[in-house]
Structure 1
Amino acid sequence: MTAGHSQDLPKPLLVSAGLLILLAVSLVIIGDELPQAAPLSEDIVVSSHDIRLRALEDGAIQPVLVDGTRLPAIKAEQAGFVSGVMRGLSRGRKLAGSDPDAPYRLARLRDGRLLLTDTATGTTINLDVFGRDNAKTFAALWEQGEARAERVPP
């Protein structure tokens, strides 16, 4: 590095970064204080599956239905969105002091939307708002759960 170059960051950039951090922290605090959404009424849920998602050492995700049935693992290359959702929900569980091993509920609604609910905290995520490609991985899990449910006698 030459003496003519400075490593000082422009003051407006530092102020903007500080405000962004303050906003993010404020939203987390405010979000934790907001009332939880009412549970979905059963008449709009077409089908749901309780599932545990386990992160594997190679970055893949192993989905397991609550009855112990293992679904095909999500390869590490395709698990980015699922991993991100898991990290966010795990953080919520930790902050709430909830059971880290509680299952998630993957539900298909009558209008076609796909929701993921954390059964430990009650947090519900509409997966369709993240785009078709991101929701596709969760949709595949729901379909695999449906196929499994059709094979199991009542």
Structure 2
Amino acid sequence: MSHSHEVHLPRGALILAGTLVAFAFTLTATMRIAHVPPAASPVLLRSAEHVAPVKSRTLRFIDAADRGVRIEDVGTGATAATIVPGQQTGFIRGVMRGLARERRLHGIGSAPPFVLTQWQDGELSLTDTATGRAIELNAFGTTNRAAFAALLNAPETTR
């Protein structure tokens, strides 16, 4: 008894796959030839629409080892908040871990601050002054956004 390893694809499936690839290629080429710009980033949209900041705070996140993370207001040097392990601030820690990783990849230390900004249109963003990367915090839901929004109004305490 002979055994065959030949695979027979239905002709219709091959035609459909070829058509899909040709459509994707044609659509991509049309967008390039027509010079259709890619979707703008929120930063560029705010700039084009002249959306002004309502409130802003320049912050530095300082790892305090076993005591958590101290968030310092750069303008005053006072502590804006302290995040201790076990608090409901895992989102802040997660965002900052990602930004710290990006800084390490670029050989940048923790000294440059971050700017937390509330915009006229209700958006809230965190910008890394060292890399220029901006994170739109509204995209992560109201609870996670609120964790950062609280830092804008957090009272300052002395070290």
TM-score normalised by L of structure 1: 0.63
Residues 20-72 of structure 1: per-residue CA shift (max 9 Å, x gap)? xxxxxxxxxxxxxxxx9659648521121110112333363211001201123
Match of 1:124 in 2: 134
- Candidates 78, 99, 102, aligned match of 1:89: 99
Matches within 5 A, 1:1-154: 41=47, 44-58=52-66, 60-66=68-74, 67-76=76-85, 77-144=87-154
CA distance in 2, matches of 1:58, 1:93: 22
Distance 1:43 1:56, change over 3 A: same
The structure having more radius of gyration, on CA atoms, is: 2
CA distance in 1, matches of 2:105, 2:117: 25
CA distance in 2, matches of 1:100, 1:62: 13
The structure with the largest helix share of the pair is 1
**Which residue identity is paired with 2:136?**
N
Name the Cα RMSD after superposition: 2.4
Contact 1:45 1:107 in 2 (8 A): yes
Unmatched tracts of structure 1, length 5 or more: 1-35, 149-154
Unmatched tracts of structure 2, length 5 or more: 1-40
Match of 2:21 in 1: none
Contact 1:64 1:71 in 2 (8 A): yes
| Post-superposition offset of 1:95 | 1.4
CA distance in 2, matches of 1:99, 1:123: 15
Contact 1:61 1:79 in 2 (8 A): no
Contact 1:114 1:128 in 2 (8 A): yes
TM-score normalised by L of structure 2: 0.61
SS in 2 for 1:129: helix
Contact 2:51 2:121 in 1 (8 A): no
* Segments ≥4 residues shifted beyond 4 Å: 36-43
